């Protein structure tokens, strides 16, 4: 890890004309900026937070460090095409550690447990063992996943083409992909099997994109399954090293990243983006602008009303946000591995009805239907627990944003006693359920701190505190305006809304944005999306 004074960001930046301004330093924005830097462009990245990285950044409380959004990432090794691109964009400085031979454990009611391993063959064997009468259905499922991922080249190609050309070629580019983007996960599973428990298990990873089986597109689910078929990994040194290494690439090419730099709006002159105006009134000019903010935020907040093409604005704003969430950050003191913690992620379902998207906590006796747990300190081989055996854990569950909307607009850390009382109540209920599953961890807990959808809004500024941008439904894939190119000249979108959900979905969106902006020079970066690895 670099010394603090060598960080490739600061509160100021050189006064010069930039080739590109990128708004937002999440995974999508960093990816676009790093690719453009590799192409010789001078890029200024503007980040409203005091730490860059978006959902990849880390923070500290007392004696513990946590990551806010990185729990498991696949396809990052040199054997994977995406991994080789990521290695190129980080200059080989970012290292990864495997979560182990089993990277995920699912726990359902009635004592039913199943693990997801780091290879396709063992994954299928685990399913065969759990469902011995469903071998044909399991084989068909993996076949559908393989075909769906292969077919997505047409969808991604259509995203980077100019609108007119994309429309003209859509019968060719979208013929194969629409068979999977237009169908829900539930509809595909219903065709494959009548076994309700097998359907639940096969759909288990829908939490990585936030749309339950009856709503989520099969295309996004297949992409997630494929993404983890060869295991999951964690960045050595913590997720903060993603920003350190990618933004160093930007700096090495003559670019820079400015923190605490909030954009008020994008400057549009004669129908073209020419720069940005900051909240303090400063104007910064560039040949082109990339917004890696949420697509809805870009349309409704960053593009001035008089410059918004009506059809574009309506189509983007019509897309509902993905679910909001709460995350409980825990600090432990002791050997948590002896109490059931490990590097692998653990999903605790309290019901077989996995269509439940959010915890309705208005009933004071209710507990979350799902707990997703992660232990970052056990994933990072560079973590030193010290003599006190300091470790970290996180619990995530979906919640309705509306239950927090009354405090929207209030200041972070100053939302009032009612809000703090709600956080304390939710923390107590989440811990009650968590300790039911992992009782040995209770005496080791020393710190617990809850983030809410308002925390997400404050730091990352997604619409309605969405964890994954817009929903991953078939309508998302049919929407012609969720693409890097916008109807405003020299303005491009980046991030998960033009890619797909999650950190690596935002990475894909960053790739697409760079290819759309520099189609000739950056086209080589599109190949991993068009031709996924068949290892």
Residue 133: pLDDT band with limits 50, 70, 90:
very high
Q: At 268, phi and psi to the nearest 5? A: -120, 120
403 is written with which tokens? 């239950």
How many Cα neighbours within 13 Å face the side chain of 408?
13
The whole-angstrom distance between residue 274's C-alpha and the CA centroid of its chain comes to: 29
For position 168, what pLDDT does the model report? 66
Q: Which of 397, 391, 420 is nearest to 330 (CA)?
A: 391
With a cut of 90, say whether residue 90 has pLDDT above it.
yes
- Helix (H), strand (E), coil (C) string for 448-463: EEEECHHHHHHHHCCH
For position 166, what pLDDT does the model report? 65
For position 513, what pLDDT does the model report? 97
For position 495, what pLDDT does the model report? 95
The number of residues in the chain equals: 535
- Sheet of 102-107, strands arranged across: 113-117, 102-107, 345-349, 370-374, 390-399, 324-333, 445-451
For position 171, what pLDDT does the model report? 72
What counts of helices (H) and strands (E) characterise the chain?
19, 18
For position 527, what pLDDT does the model report? 60
Structure confidence by residue, pLDDT tens digits, 157-202:
888 877 667 666 677 767 888 999 999 999 999 999 999 999 999 9
With a cut of 50, say whether residue 123 has pLDDT above it.
yes
Sign, CA dihedral 89-91-94-99, equals positive
With a cut of 80, say whether residue 533 has pLDDT above it.
no
With a cut of 90, say whether residue 411 has pLDDT above it.
no
Q: What is the mean pLDDT of the chain?
A: 93
Integer-rounded Cα radius of gyration of the chain: 22
- Residues 348-376: what's their mean pLDDT? 93
Domain ranges of the chain: 4-95+234-320+468-530, 100-231, 324-463
Residues 173/155, Cβ–Cβ less than 8 Å? yes
Residue 534: pLDDT band with limits 50, 70, 90:
very low
Within 10 A of 287 (CB to CB), how many other CB atoms are there?
Answer: 16
Residue 535: pLDDT band with limits 50, 70, 90:
very low
Structure confidence by residue, pLDDT tens digits, 453-477:
999 998 888 888 899 999 999 999 9
233 is written with which tokens? 């990994």
Residues 433/427, Cβ–Cβ less than 8 Å? no
Q: Tell me which CATH homologous superfamily contains domain 4-95+234-320+468-530.
A: FAD/NAD(P)-binding domain (3.50.50.60)
Residues 266/306, Cβ–Cβ less than 8 Å? no
Residue 10: pLDDT band with limits 50, 70, 90:
very high
For position 530, what pLDDT does the model report? 46
For position 64, what pLDDT does the model report? 95
> How many angstroms separate the CA atoms of 89 and 92, rounded?
8
């Amino acid at each position: 890890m670099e010394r603090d004074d060598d960080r490739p960001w600061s509160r100021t930046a050189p006064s010069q004309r930039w080739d590109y301004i990128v708004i937002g330093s999440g995974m999508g924005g960093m990816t676009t900026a790093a690719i453009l830097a590799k192409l010789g462009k001078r890029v200024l990245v503007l980040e409203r937070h005091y730490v860059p990285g978006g959902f990849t950044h880390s923070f500290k409380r007392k004696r513990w460090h946590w990551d806010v959004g990185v729990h498991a990432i696949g396809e990052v090794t040199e054997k994977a095409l995406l991994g080789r691109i990521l290695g190129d964009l980080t200059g080989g400085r970012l290292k990864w550690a495997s979560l182990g031979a089993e990277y995920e454990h699912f726990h359902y009611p009635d004592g039913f447990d199943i693990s997801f391993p780091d290879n396709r063959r063992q994954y299928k064997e685990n399913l065969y063992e759990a469902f011995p009468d469903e071998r044909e259905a399991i084989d068909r499922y993996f076949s559908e996943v393989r075909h769906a991922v292969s077919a997505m080249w047409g969808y991604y190609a259509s995203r980077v083409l100019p609108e007119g050309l994309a429309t003209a070629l859509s019968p060719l580019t979208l013929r194969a992909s629409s068979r999977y983007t237009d169908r829900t996960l539930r509809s595909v599973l219903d065709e494959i099997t009548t076994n309700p428990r097998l359907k639940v298990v096969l759909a288990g990873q829908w939490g990585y994109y936030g749309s339950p089986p009856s709503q989520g597109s099969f295309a996004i689910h297949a992409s997630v399954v494929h993404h983890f078929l060869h295991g999951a990994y964690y960045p050595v040194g913590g997720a903060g090293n993603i920003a350190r290494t990618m933004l160093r690439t930007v700096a090495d090419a003559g670019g820079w990243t400015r923190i605490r730099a909030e954009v008020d709006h994008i400057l549009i002159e004669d129908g073209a983006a020419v720069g940005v105006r900051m909240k303090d009134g400063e104007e910064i000019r560039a040949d082109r602008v990339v917004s890696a903010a949420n697509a809805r935020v870009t349309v409704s907040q960053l593009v001035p009303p008089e410059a918004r093409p009506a059809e574009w604005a309506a189509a983007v704003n019509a897309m509902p946000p993905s679910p909001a969430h709460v995350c409980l950050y825990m600090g432990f003191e002791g050997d948590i591995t002896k109490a059931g913690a490990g590097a692998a992620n653990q999903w605790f379902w309290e019901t077989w009805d996995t269509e439940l998207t959010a915890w309705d906590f208005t009933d004071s006796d209710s507990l979350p239907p799902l707990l997703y747990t992660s232990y970052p300190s056990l994933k990072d081989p560079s973590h030193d627990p010290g003599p006190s055996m300091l470790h970290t854990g996180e619990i995530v569950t979906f919640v309705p944003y509306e239950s927090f909307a009354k405090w929207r607009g209030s200041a972070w850390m100053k939302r009032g006693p009612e809000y703090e009382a709600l956080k304390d109540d939710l923390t107590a209920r989440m811990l009650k359920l968590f300790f039911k599953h992992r009782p040995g961890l209770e005496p080791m807990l020393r710190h617990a701190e809850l983030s809410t959808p308002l925390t997400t809004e404050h730091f990352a500024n997604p619409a309605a505190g969405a964890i994954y941008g817009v929903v991953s439904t078939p309508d998302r894939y049919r929407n012609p305006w969720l693409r890097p190119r916008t109807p405003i000249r020299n303005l491009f979108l980046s991030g998960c809304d033009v890619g797909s959900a999650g950190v690596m979905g935002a990475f894909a969106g960053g790739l697409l944005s760079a290819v759309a902006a520099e189609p000739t020079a950056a086209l080589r970066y599109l190949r991993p999306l068009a031709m996924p690895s068949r290892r």
